[in-house]
Structure 1
Amino acid sequence: MNKNYALLLLGLLLVLSQGYRNQGKDEQAAKKEIKISVLPGLQFDIPRFHVQPGQQVTLHFQNNDDMDHNLLLLKPGTRVEVVDLATNMGAKGMAKDYIPESKAILWHTKILHAGQTGTLNFKAPLEEGVYPYVCTLPGHGYIMYGAMYVNKSGKMPSLAQDKNIPPSNAANAHAHHAHQDHPFEQKPPYYYRTYMEGASPAAFAVRLSDQLAFCWDATHCKLRYIWSGDFLDFTAIWKGHKDAKAKVLGDIFYREGALPTLQIGSTAHAEKPKFKGYKLLKDGHLEFRYSLAGQDVFETISLAPEGKEIIRAFRIPNLKQALTFQPTQLEGAGSFTYQGKPLPGGKLSLDAQAGKQFTLVYSLNP
């Protein structure tokens, strides 16, 4: 009796041991590895993928783009909420990798520069659903996102009918209206970080009103141009065309020339300006910060309440040298004034005290 019991126990142990070995093999096979990179036009190259509930996942995100990017995995239905939170971080966002404080964020990479790769190791949620992933750098999250489908069936809708991925990845992307520059209506002022004609990849496109917008270049720390009319057409970017740029839909009526508009002190050994970030002000406008000739410069471009004048304000708190400001003058397009008077000879010269804070007004011709 004891001998038979011992044999039975031994057999049971062998079965259990084999079961554990098989379970280990199943778990090993169940692990999933995802590799995501970037396509031209602010797109992830994989717009969606599927995992099983509780599956072990390794996600490699390689930034092969000229722009910086990050990747956040979020709870279902929270993408726009998290993107808006990241946008409102303003200049402080860069130091925190544009990762806002939110319980909706499940996993995230840091900001990745060109050529860098971030890896996320996680266990997929047990609750089935569609979990968005997104880049939260300013202006990116409204068009640069994808979907992680978590379910046991493995089913996903057809690309043409998938509302959880960008329109550019859907088969019916051609039905997108060319003038739809945002997935939901925005109230000016608002901005995008995007690719623009006549500017470096580090460009800001800022919508001041329903009829006025400007492009500001963070690489060269200067205003590039101002236009009137409709905002931007992102179609080429959404479709991933090589070297695609956002198309200005209005008419450019002011374009700054190649010479530096703002000069501090002597120009004999002028150094290139260095972009140091920006701040989203309470009124929705942006304050750009950069260094020039060893001085911190704060620049804001806004619209006067009546909407007929563009206000360009500068703060240089520690200025110790005289400065000059010389915008490009275009006949018939309007004129710059300082303290209500036209710039003498089209050029403004200020001593160190007056130059610490000054405002120019660009009066638009009716």
Structure 2
Amino acid sequence: MKMILKKTPTVKKLFAVAFSFFIVTGILGYKEGYLIQKEPPKEVDISVLPGLQFSLPRFHVVPGQQVVLRFTNTDDMDHNLLVIRPESREKVVDLAAKLGAEGVAKSYIPETGDVMWHTSVLHADQTETLSFTAPSEEGVYPYVCTLPGHGHVMYGAMYVNKSGEMPVLTEDKAVPHHVKNKVHVHAETKNHPYELIPPYYYRLYIDGASPAAIAVHLPGNISFCWDATPCQMRFVWKDGFVDNTELWKGHKDAKAKREGTIVYRETRPAVLTIGEQNTTKNPPKFKGYRITDAGYLEFCYIIEGIEIFETIRELEDKNGIVRHFRIPTLDDNVVFHHTEEKKITCYYNGIPLPAGPLVLDKKNGKQFSVEFRIEK
């Protein structure tokens, strides 16, 4: 009877098999790791330029690539940054606007699946970093600021594709019009890099206002400066707008140069007060602005807890401006104050205002207009 003896593997052979296994898996692991790491993380730095603009209008990433996006608010206004799903910008911006009084507490982030990543609301000089994996699905993913009035002009595009292709900037529908137009610089244009049709505006630094100034040029060659710090119109001027040459060159502490003649300068610390008091207990708070269908800015701010909306337009004969106020939740008197100027006469309902303030009850104060007419 034959006995079959099974050979037990020696320790040496077992070690050789295990070593081969680790070598093979190590090589496979290295190859797999190499495939994963062949696209290094994409680092993106975005800040804020004057005029409600992101410093970077667009950038490209590969599907599945790691992205490190640093957003720094280099503006005096508050801003946030949301990365959202393709073709959802207008929807997200509208939802953020509908948050109303809840907007501040929610950082103007609407509850919708279209929001993929977002920062909080950043004050001046604050930075927040978003780290995420780029979507696997190719497409154009917008990023946008959703504070009131910002999202219609302050946005950009994250292109996700393997090819790295992006359209020519002048033909790119995913970036704001003012970004596309900036490539058309004409030698004969002194103050602006592209043709402008009023009304138009700039966020800038200018003498006579805080760093949170907004200069607006209206039809009729009349302009005004609105200051977001005190939440009021600072001054009005005729026959020219601003020269932003030094600002565009990036000079430190540069200011825009006003062109034309000032016809009205507001010297009162408060233009609107609520109730019988002639002063406000708390400083006003600027909430932002939106662009109306006609292209004018509607400013939104809070005085003593009351939300106020103000739009400034040119008069029909182009010989001055009209300030229109909406105060939907007004439940007390509103008092309008103005500074007397030789070149300006203020009118309410076609009647010149006296030297004192204009006092309106809660019925008439919820919506009213005051004309600033330039005397010839």
Partner of 1:320: 332
Aligned ranges for residues 61-210 of structure 1 at < 5 Å?
A: 61-71=71-81, 109-114=119-124, 115-123=126-134, 177-180=189-192, 185-186=196-197, 188-210=198-220
Matched residue of 1:23: which SS? helix
Looking at structure 1, the residues matched to 142 and 257 of structure 2 have their Cα atoms a distance apart, in angstroms, of 28
Looking at structure 1, the residues matched to 54 and 140 of structure 2 have their Cα atoms a distance apart, in angstroms, of 17
Aligned-residue identity in percent: 37
Looking at structure 1, the residues matched to 358 and 364 of structure 2 have their Cα atoms a distance apart, in angstroms, of 9
Match of residue 66, structure 2, among 25, 48, 56: 56
2:358 maps to 1:365: no
- Structure 1 pair 194–31 and aligned structure 2 pair: CA distance change class (3 A): same
State the number of aligned residues.
Answer: 348
What is the CA deviation profile of residues 154-175 of structure 1, one whole-angstrom value per residue up to 9, with x for unaligned ones?
A: 899xxxx9878969x99x9896
Matched residue of 1:204: which SS? strand
- C-alpha contact (below 8 Å) 2:301/2:308 kept by paired residues: yes
Looking at structure 1, the residues matched to 92 and 259 of structure 2 have their Cα atoms a distance apart, in angstroms, of 29
Match of residue 269, structure 2, among 231, 249, 259: 259
Looking at structure 2, the residues matched to 221 and 29 of structure 1 have their Cα atoms a distance apart, in angstroms, of 52
Looking at structure 2, the residues matched to 320 and 73 of structure 1 have their Cα atoms a distance apart, in angstroms, of 42
Q: Which amino acid aligns with 1:121?
A: F
2:311 maps to 1:300: yes
TM (normalized to structure 1)? 0.68
| Alignment RMSD (CA, Å) | 5.0
- Structure 1 pair 151–86 and aligned structure 2 pair: CA distance change class (3 A): same
Looking at structure 1, the residues matched to 54 and 290 of structure 2 have their Cα atoms a distance apart, in angstroms, of 27
Deviation at 1:224, TM superposition (A): 0.8
Gaps of 5+ in 1: 1-5
What is the CA deviation profile of residues 115-144 of structure 1, one whole-angstrom value per residue up to 9, with x for unaligned ones?
A: 1303041226676x9988666765798698
- Structure 1 pair 269–236 and aligned structure 2 pair: CA distance change class (3 A): closer
Partner of 1:3: none
TM (normalized to structure 2)? 0.67
- C-alpha contact (below 8 Å) 2:77/2:123 kept by paired residues: yes
Partner of 1:330: 341
Q: Which amino acid aligns with 1:339?
A: N
- C-alpha contact (below 8 Å) 1:290/1:298 kept by paired residues: yes
- Structure 1 pair 176–311 and aligned structure 2 pair: CA distance change class (3 A): same
Looking at structure 2, the residues matched to 92 and 247 of structure 1 have their Cα atoms a distance apart, in angstroms, of 38
Match of residue 231, structure 2, among 190, 205, 221: 221
- C-alpha contact (below 8 Å) 2:96/2:146 kept by paired residues: no
Deviation at 1:362, TM superposition (A): 1.4
Q: Which amino acid aligns with 1:18?
A: I
